[in-house]
Structure 1
Amino acid sequence: MELTTGAILRRITETPLSTAAHKLATIILDGIAWKDGYNGLERGTAAFTLAHLAEKMGVSRQHLTTLLIELATSGLALVRWKPNGKFAPWLFRFGEREDADAPPDVVSAPSDTSLSREAKNKTIFAGRIQIASGSNVYRTPWADLIKAAKASLACWNVDTQVIWERFHAFNRAHGHAAVPAGFLLGFMRRWRTTPNAMAKPAPLAPPKRASTPKDQELQRLISAAPSKNWQFHASDLRRLIGQAAYEARVFDVIRQFGCPRFAATLAVHGRAIISGEIAR
């Protein structure tokens, strides 16, 4: 059975779920690709990291897992899997309803022309790209797709051929002979520097100043809150004490230690972990 966005949305509203689970289901629905190759995904599939989902939901990873289990065991039959390694996003798909009582309009009609299915979508990167040197992008079918996709990305003002060459250079450096076309869109979305920026020598690090008791105390607080989990700690602490109190603590640490905001944020989380307000 082939489902549409509207059909799944109706199933979400008809399925008995908690309010948070309903919200999570709509977030996943919003990321589903309805044409093969859209964002490098198969049709009917969405991709998210658990960290991204937890941030969008404003919940902890533990609560997010509970909500995912609720969706999996509900009539939505949400399934998830991770085929591309430990650090790759999870893939999500809503199970198809097989009961005979399903209303007939859950099946995608031939005349379905919803925005998510329109053929004019320009971010469809399907197939595979062969990695070669000296390739001219304008002699390939990818030039128009790159030009359309980069219009809303950080590389909007970079020549299409330059993007193509740097994409090939990146994959050659990683030993890739061929990659899924979706990798090209992901490469463009992560564009951060100009071509010349990579050749600039790194500035010399300033000499380290002697460690003071204040520096040691700041480092002790930061060490109590690993930076890789800082978003979850922030979410847990905001939910516990409120946004205003959270910001006040951060500013107090900045004034006390004269440190950057990110360091102050980690120190606030570390102090909350040490005092037992939130879990490590």
Structure 2
Amino acid sequence: MELTTGSLLRRITETDLSVSAHKLATIILDGIAWKDGYNGLPRGAAAFTLAALAERMGISRQYLSNLLGELAVSGLRLERRKPHGKYAPWLFRFGERIRENSKHGMSSGDDTSLFREESHKTIFSGKIKIGETGNVFQTRWAQLIKAVKTALPCWNVDTQVIWERFIAFNRQRGNVSVPAGYLLGFMRRWRNAPKTRQEETLAPETTVTVDPVQDELAALISAAPVRNRQFHEADLRRAIGQEGYDTRICEVVKRLGCPRFTATLAVHGRAVMVGEISR
């Protein structure tokens, strides 16, 4: 019989740990995926950055390292690894000894945990209609992308950017509707995304007509800071005021005819160019 969140939580409380280590183990348990692919994670793993864990615990990074070491040598045998590069979140997993030694921790048939294997379904289900909307936050997929990308190669890419790339990828292939699982697969292969059809067929001698409006928009967006976008937005709001910030976005929307999110990136790019905020 498989462990559930309830049985693993009982095992945590049975293990001799400090109060803070108990709390940390519970936080990690809360993020565990019990079905492979849920939230983009391997089965039995949870994804966190050390900064996020320290913030949730309200402790320093040094003390957090001590607590992680305590969990690693305890009966819980906490393991962690970072498969997606230096700046990606850590993947945490409780060791196999729990499954081998835990008798009291096994769930009975009366355990109604929401995280039992048989009741836990992959969240990417249904169909995605390509081109239904360009704004991911007007769909039900925004929160799913946010939750899943934390453990994937695109963990530091803006949710809207992921959505736009996914829509463009399928439009170029003439897809009108695709299974929702395609979105998860697209995010998993982010760094190895294939060339677009236009890139494959465009001859070197072909002359491309450049739209000045789109060219200006692309230049502004390329200058915009993508990582920690919210912090840069807050800096710009403080520099020019809320009214000035909103006015700039509205002016870009009217002048360049782009969605509000794209206009926001353009405003941030312009602010970087003139030195109002740093990249």
**Normalised TM-score (structure 2):** 0.49
**Normalised TM-score (structure 1):** 0.49
